[in-house]
Chain A
Amino acid sequence: MIPLKRRKAYDAIFVWLSGLVLFFSLLTLFSLMMSLLIQGVPRLNVAFFVSFPSRFAEQAGILSAWVGTLTVMSVTAVVAVPVGILAGLYLEEYASKNFLTSIIEINISNLAGVPSIVYGLMALGIFVYQMHLGQSILTAGLTLGLLVLPIIIVTTREALRTIPTTMREAAYALGATRWQVMRDHTIPYSMGGILTGVIIALSRAIGETAPLITIGALTFIAFLPSSIMDPFTVLPIQMFNWVSRPQEEFHQNAAAAGIVLIGLTLTMNALAIYMRYQFRKRIKW
């Protein structure tokens, strides 16, 4: 039996230790953010958003990069969101529990953990060479769509699982069909959770670089896409190019692009939290 005094001391040491770890991880994050802000903020002006890349660091901007990111993300959303939500609904609500569905389930959870470069290689083989979609916005959107599909499916199912069975049973007891229960109860109640999953999936896709480089995203583009079959660049790639340049001024551009990227991700995550809150508030049972 360890004496009480010693046990209390262990307790205190543990608290102190975890506090220290927390402090250092926050400090790292904070200093990273600060150095990014100090470097990048002076470059953030309107011209930076409406200019194309240039050999003169002070004239260079991220127009083609953010338009590229936005169009790729729209394609990703159009592809992944409906498929992901419907697949999640089917697996959770309709599919019977058997050998096949458990195989599918295991595979989906495994897919969520596959490194993104693997998706890039697969997309290069299938979309670029087999289907001849080229190194286009469409290819990139489809690739990122596949990448985030498992995340959307898994979060959709999680959201559906939070609806108590008693709600469904009550509706069935009143004579509602399966579809009516889904439409009027299950889906509306779980909408907050589903949307959160969707946004978190998209904010993961927004920072992806590896699969896009694999399928052949470009670095210098000084025009805007007029179709989804056009070549493209995205923010992380533009940023990477600037970081690897020798001149200090380009590093500042990279920092500024980084701030924009972090801003986008944070905004999306904040939106997810806000939406979850709004939907939770609306549900009264």
Chain B
Amino acid sequence: MKKRMGFVSVVVVLFYLSSIFAASERRVVKIDGSSTVFPITEAVAEEFQKEQKGKVQVTVGISGTGGGFKKFCRGETDIQDASRPILKSEMEICKAQGISYIELPIAYDAITIIVSHQNTWVKNITVASLKTLWEPGAQGKITQWNHVLPEWPNKPIKLFGAGSDSGTFDYFTEAVTGKSKSSRGDYTASEDDNTLVLGVSSNPQALGYIPFSYYEANKKKLKALSVGGVFPSEQTIEQGTYTPFSRPIFIYVSAEALKKQEVKSFSEFYLHNAYKLAKQVKYVPLPQKLYTLALENLKKEKRGTVFGGKAEIGLKVEELLKREIPNL
């Protein structure tokens, strides 16, 4: 009896192994890139697979915008999630490999300046004050609140911000100091925004910056500051009045991959449903009509980037979609 059981289990295992080694041809849409864009792409992928009833499979990775572009430009992925426009160096690598792409904005992301609820003295901050506070020259010098503005208290200031691998860091430094990655170094840096939430919420003297979605999920613990008089909210981000800290986030679709039916229908599905799905995952969607514009760009296969390899602070998405691709 025991022997027979052994035989049966061996047969079962062999059967399973043979089925696993017989690789089947499947239709897969491969996506990788920014963790900021991930929640929206995940939502679209989930819905798309439901609609296709398992005929097409979608995989989404989180290699970061930079890491993702490396794979994208080698032709390993079909679609790239990007929390910033493609950089000059990445454009060159893609070009060398013969990869061209269609740039599609899919939602807004905003950086929120946060303090603790116990902080009573600040409601609004200007970009100039942020520059005084965060520029590289402030290191070791601007260490108290009253160093920034004399009317603020004579208390030490504790800073929290994104780590240098993050797209949020790139954008914040660009918007505040005018130069990407130029920041003071003596602050608590973390790639994990939840760490920043925890740090700022527990310290009345703290100030930090995080993506808007993390503020939205932690409103009870945190107080957001208005920047130049404009408070970050869905309305101000969508209208583009919350400047300079609101920005579009993108997907890049490989033109070569777009020839495949599954990539084409996924990209179209993305733009058709991004408005609804971005809201569901607590992101700020673009206005409806801009998705229609983006869809036209996709159908025309408008290849290239309108940015020329540099993030532009405060660019309106509508203008971005209509702008001609500069010849490079």
Residues of A whose CB lies within 8 Å of any CB of B are 52-55, 71, 216-223, 225-231, 241, 243-248, 251
Number of interface residues of B (CB under 8 A): 42
Contact A54 to B62, CB < 8 A, known contacts A227-B22, A244-B192? no
* List of A residues within 8 angstroms of B110 by Cβ: none
Contact partners of B216 in chain A: CB under 8 A: 246
B20 and A216 contact, CB distance less than 8 A: no
The answer to whether residues A226 and B213 also contact, given A246-B193, A247-B282 and a CB cut-off of 8 A, is no
Contact partner, B45, options A71, A222, A241, A248, Cβ 8 Å: A222
Query: Is A54 a contact partner of B19 (Cβ separation < 8 A)?
Result: no
Contact B277 A55 (CB under 8 A): yes
Chain A CB within 10 Å, residue with most, of B23, B28, B59, B63: B59
The answer for the CA separation of A55 and B283 in the assembled complex, in Å, is 12
Chain B residues near A55 (CB-CB < 8 A): 39, 42-43, 46, 277, 280-281
- Name the contact of B217 in the complex, choosing from A225, A226, A229, A246 (C-beta under 8 A): A246
Could you say which residues of chain B place their CB within 8 Å of the CB of A248? 217
Known: A231-B28, A245-B39. 17 other contacts (CB 8 A): A53-B46, A216-B71, A217-B61, A220-B38, A220-B45, A220-B58, A221-B60, A222-B45, A222-B46, A222-B57, A223-B54, A227-B24, A241-B62, A243-B192, A244-B193, A246-B193, A246-B211
- Which B residues fall within an 8 A CB radius of A? 19-24, 26, 28, 30, 32, 35, 38-39, 41-43, 45-46, 49, 54, 57-63, 71, 192-194, 197, 211, 213-214, 216-218, 277, 280-282
Residues on B with C-beta less than 8 A from A241 are: 38, 62
Query: Is there an interface contact between B20 and A227, defined as CB atoms closer than 8 Å?
Result: yes
Across the interface, do A226 and B20 meet the contact criterion of CB distance under 8 Å?
yes
The answer to whether B59 touches A220 (Cβ under 8 A) is yes
| A246 CA to B283 CA, complexed, in Å | 11
Question: Cα distance A217–B192 when bound, in Å?
Answer: 19
A-B contact pairs, 23 of them (CB 8 A): A54-B46, A55-B42, A55-B277, A55-B280, A55-B281, A218-B61, A220-B59, A220-B60, A222-B45, A222-B49, A223-B54, A226-B20, A227-B21, A227-B23, A228-B20, A231-B28, A244-B192, A246-B194, A246-B197, A246-B214, A246-B216, A246-B282, A247-B217
